[in-house]
């Protein structure tokens, strides 16, 4: 059974990290750390954590007090909104597992099978927000005293396309004119296409520069990079310039049509709102 535990991989979505940091910033003054429930799904050894919420608790020297009724109520409310999200484990702020972690983990073991434990170093003790994931492996002899040990498992950040776009907007507030106001406005769809094209051109220039340096013996070749570049080249469909231009123009026309329809719907809703307001007066 321990092997099944160790084969798990945790994928955290950015919204989970934002919620954990927000809960840490809103904690009570006397709270040393914050804990909460992880929500998501498990498929083929991958724990996909897409949501979470905070669970109020207090830790004393010899015991832990947690508002389990509150946790159950929040989970039931979340199930009404998103029925596909189930309890997959729990999280805690800090950079290590504490003595009370086994007690909290025992509760989540009754809520789901093989719960994972994620720690987030919101105190930045290592200079960055370190993220670690654990599973609890049972130790002991049959019919004897049992114990458990928290064993690290791989953890990585996973993003949906909308989350990637949101992170890119957040990154823009760190530099330039937006850094002063910490606000940035979303771009139009065509502007996003233009920016993506510029980034792709910049990345292609870096790839070409690397290949030229390898051919000129200025850089030592890397077999892994070479295989990745070969897969990248093979993934590009074979088409002429005319075929590519026709496909690109067709997609642009579809995008413009969607933009026009959305603008018409937005205008119609605004007019309907104003007409309703005038009629009520």
Rounded to an integer, what distance in angstroms lies between the CA atom of residue 119 and that of residue 97?
8
- Looking at residue 3, what is its pLDDT? 41
The pLDDT of residue 2: 41
Percentage, residues of the chain above pLDDT 70: 86
Report yes or no on 107 lying in a domain: yes
90: part of which helix (H) or strand (E)? strand 86-93
Domain-located, residue 189: no
- Higher pLDDT among residues 177 and 91, named by residue: 91
Q: Note whether residue 261 is domain-resident.
A: yes
What is the mean predicted confidence (pLDDT) over 220-246?
82
Q: What is the pLDDT of residue 184?
A: 67
pLDDT of residue 39: 92
Question: How far is it, in rounded angstroms, from Cα 256 to Cα 253?
Answer: 5
From 108, 129, 157, the end of a domain falls on 157
Domain presence at residue 236: no
Q: How far apart are CA 64 and CA 237, in angstroms?
A: 59
Together in a domain, 140 and 264: no
| 54 falls within a domain | yes
Q: SS3 letters for 222-236?
A: CHHHHHHHHHHHHHC
Report the predicted TM-score, pTM, of the whole model to 2 decimal places. 0.64
Do residues 135 and 273 share a domain? no
Shared-domain flag, residues 152 and 260: no
**Domain count of the fold of the chain:** 2
Q: Are residues 31 and 128 in the same domain?
A: yes
Q: Residue 59: which of 92, 19, 17 has the closest Cα?
A: 92
> Do residues 24 and 136 share a domain?
yes
Q: What is the pLDDT of residue 38?
A: 92
Provide the pLDDT confidence category of residue 82 given band limits of 50, 70 and 90: confident
Q: What is the pLDDT of residue 221?
A: 86
CATH code, 115: 3.40.140.10
Band of pLDDT at residue 95, cut at 50, 70 and 90 = confident
Q: Which residues contact 181 (CB under 8 A, 6 or more apart)?
A: none
Residue 252, domain extent: 242-281
Nearest CA to 114 among 86, 146, 73, 144? 86
Of the residues 157, 174, 190, which one is the last residue of a structural domain? Answer: 157
Residues 6 or more apart from 11 whose CB is under 8 A from it? 46, 47, 48, 49, 155, 156, 157, 158
Q: Tell me the pLDDT of the chain averaged across its residues.
A: 81
DSSP 8-class letter at 186: P
Q: Domain for residue 172, yes or no?
A: no
Whether 180 maps to a domain, the answer reads no
Residue 264 lies in a domain: yes
The whole-angstrom separation of Cα 108 and Cα 248 is: 51
Question: Final residue of a domain: which of 129, 157, 185?
Answer: 157
Exposed/middle/buried for residue 272 (C-beta within 10 Å: 0-12, 13-18, 19+): exposed
DSSP alpha helices (H): ranges in the chain? 2-6, 14-25, 68-81, 101-111, 161-172, 178-181, 189-215, 223-235, 241-280
Are 31 and 144 contained in the same domain? Answer: yes
């Amino acid at each position: 059974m321990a092997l099944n535990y160790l084969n798990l991989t945790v994928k955290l979505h950015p919204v989970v990290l934002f919620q954990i940091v927000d809960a840490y910033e809103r904690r009570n003054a006397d709270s040393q750390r914050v804990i909460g429930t992880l929500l998501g799904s498990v498929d083929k050894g991958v724990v996909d954590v897409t949501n979470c919420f905070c669970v109020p608790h207090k830790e004393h020297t010899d015991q832990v007090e947690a508002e389990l009724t509150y946790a159950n109520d929040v989970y039931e409310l979340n199930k009404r909104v998103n029925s596909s999200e189930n309890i997959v484990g729990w999280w805690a702020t800090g950079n290590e597992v504490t003595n009370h972690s086994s007690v909290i983990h025992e509760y989540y073991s009754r809520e789901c099978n093989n719960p994972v434990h994620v720690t987030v170093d919101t105190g930045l003790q290592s200079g960055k927000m370190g993220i670690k994931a654990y599973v609890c492996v049972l130790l002991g002899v049959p019919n004897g005293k049992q114990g458990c040990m928290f064993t690290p498992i791989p953890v990585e950040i996973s993003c949906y396309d909308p989350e990637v776009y949101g992170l890119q907007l957040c990154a823009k507030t760190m530099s330039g004119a937006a850094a002063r106001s910490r606000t940035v406005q979303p771009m139009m769809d065509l502007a996003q296409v233009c920016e993506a094209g510029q980034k792709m051109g910049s990345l292609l220039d870096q790839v070409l520069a690397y290949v030229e340096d390898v051919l000129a013996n200025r850089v030592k070749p890397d077999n892994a990079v070479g295989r990745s570049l070969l897969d990248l080249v093979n993934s590009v469909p074979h088409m002429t310039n005319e075929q590519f231009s026709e496909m690109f123009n067709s997609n642009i026309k579809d995008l413009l049509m969607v933009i026009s329809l959305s603008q018409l719907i937005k205008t119609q809703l605004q007019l309907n709102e104003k007409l309703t307001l005038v009629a009520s007066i």
